[in-house]
Amino acid sequence: MNRPEALTPQQQLGFTFEEPKSVRRIWPVRELVSHVCGQVEREYSDVWVEGEISNCRPAPSGHLYFTLKDADAQLPVVLFRRQALLLRFKPADGQHVLVRGRVSVYPQRGQLQLVGETVEPVGAGSLQLAFEQLREKLKAEGLFDSARKRPLPAFPRSVGIVTSPTGAVIRDFLNIVGRRHAGLNVVLCPAAVQGEQAIAEVELAIAHLNASGLVDVIVVARGGGSAEDLAAFNSERIARAIAASGLPVVSAVGHETDFTIADFVADLRAPTPSAAAELITEAQHRVAERVANQASRLERAARFQVLHARQKLDRVAVERAERKVSGNLRRVSQRLDDLEFRLDGAMNGGIRMHQRAVAELAADVLHHEPRQLLARARERLGVSDTRIERSVERTVRRASARVDALNARLRSLSPLAVLERGYALVMNEDGAVIRSLSQVSEQDKLRTRLSDGEFVSTVEEVRESSSGTK
């Protein structure tokens, strides 16, 4: 038998009340996030969280950021500068730690985070433990032995690089190869370098480059990153692919402080992808540097030879000048000799002695350095020239006196002197002297020379003298 339903007091009184309708509340994002943040911080103001550090990033401000993770979840952690300075160790990726702090919300991202107060190490993280276990395993198999590692070809013709085609690694690699060895061919075999597909793609790329026959050496390259980013290169599959390669393999994964299993198995580990490019081109670069050094030495030697030749040419120019001066001196000496011959008949023994002295002085100048003796020779020549001039003057005076005497005698015998006494000299038009009337006819033109000139006349009449002469 069914029991009747119980009535509410309002129903018993004969009337009912309607339930109030809920009012919709609209939250601004900032207000809601702040509200949740306050609730979370009050509820989880002091908690201890255990996990593995990943993606540890110290900031320039001194704050420390990392991710605390386990197999199923992850939580961002921040240690502000004051708390980070109090740590007794340096947190790093892969460390298993215990973090004490309070849970909060980062408003700008709406992201839950743990604001840490202190960090205590617990032990090695799972990634680090797996790394150590695989390293010991492969080391026991001899994959790390130096005896099995091959040297790189000194002058490779082509190099294959396994890396992402869109990252900065390939651009830096090509830039360095182009600068150090422009003739080296680079074959890019693209592959993912992080994530689940990276292991298979890198393994396949190494096998493909070995089978292609296009390259002489293989470079497996990736830039820096967290331990999770480099996890693919700590896999056993990539390690065994490198070990099985028929070509030398260079591992250039991460930064200089990053070490992966691929580094230990590879024939050569490069601290960075850029360093790998430098190591591969090292021999060619040394040759280029040596050629450049030799070219520089050759250029310096050529410059020295040119300078030496110029100096020699300058000396030749000086020698030519000296020969020219010597030639001039010889011509002067020859001229002096010629003057000596011309004056020998007019000069006495003293003059000839001085001339011989001058000739000897000129000869002495010719047998010595002209530049050193030129001034002295000029002084001596000046003295000799003075003496010669005096002797010449005396000789000229004597000759002038003799010429004057001869001139006086010549004047006394000259017909002009007779003309000066009133006589005249008559000549016909041909210049013949008229000595007789027989040489003259009427109308002849005659020139009459007097002591101070001449005049022309015409014969009008010819008369004989009383002695019978015409």
How does DSSP classify residue 47?
Answer: E
Burial (0-12, 13-18, 19+ Cβ within 10 Å), 308? exposed
The reported pLDDT for the residue numbered 469 is 46
Most confident of 208-217, 370-379, 424-433: 208-217
The reported pLDDT for the residue numbered 385 is 75
The reported pLDDT for the residue numbered 447 is 86
Most confident of 105-114, 286-295, 433-442: 105-114
pLDDT tens digit sequence for 174-213: 888 888 777 788 899 998 888 878 889 999 999 999 998 8
Q: How far is CA 309 from CA 254, 303, 318, in A?
A: 58, 10, 14
Most confident of 61-70, 257-266, 292-301: 61-70
Contact 230, 187 (CB under 8 A): no
Give domain limits for the chain.
Answer: 29-124, 144-280, 296-399, 419-458
pLDDT tens digit sequence for 118-155: 888 776 555 666 777 788 888 888 888 888 888 888 78
Mean pLDDT over the full length of the chain: 80
The residue that leads in pLDDT, 337 or 6, is 337
pLDDT tens digit sequence for 66-125: 999 988 899 999 999 999 888 777 888 888 889 999 999 988 888 899 999 988 877 655
The residue that leads in pLDDT, 346 or 412, is 412
Positive or negative, the Cα torsion across 396, 398, 400, 402? Answer: negative
CATH of 29-124, one of 1.10.10.10, 2.40.50.140, 3.30.1280.10, 3.40.50.1370: 2.40.50.140
Q: Where are the extended beta strands (E) located within 228-369? A: 249-253, 268-269
How big is the chain, counted in residues?
A: 470
What is the DSSP annotation of 405-469? HHHHHHHHHSHHHHHHTT--EEEETTS-B--SGGG--TT-EEEEEETTEEEEEE-------TTS-
Number of H helices, E strands in the chain: 13, 13
Contact 117, 87 (CB under 8 A): no
Question: Other C-beta atoms within 10 Å of 415: how many?
Answer: 12
The reported pLDDT for the residue numbered 103 is 92
Positive or negative, the Cα torsion across 216, 217, 223, 229? Answer: positive
Helix (H, G, I), strand (E, B) or coil at 338: helix
Query: Can you give the pTM of this predicted structure?
Result: 0.41
- Cα 403 to its chain centre, rounded Å, is 87
The residue that leads in pLDDT, 326 or 250, is 250
In CATH, the number for domain 144-280 is 3.40.50.261
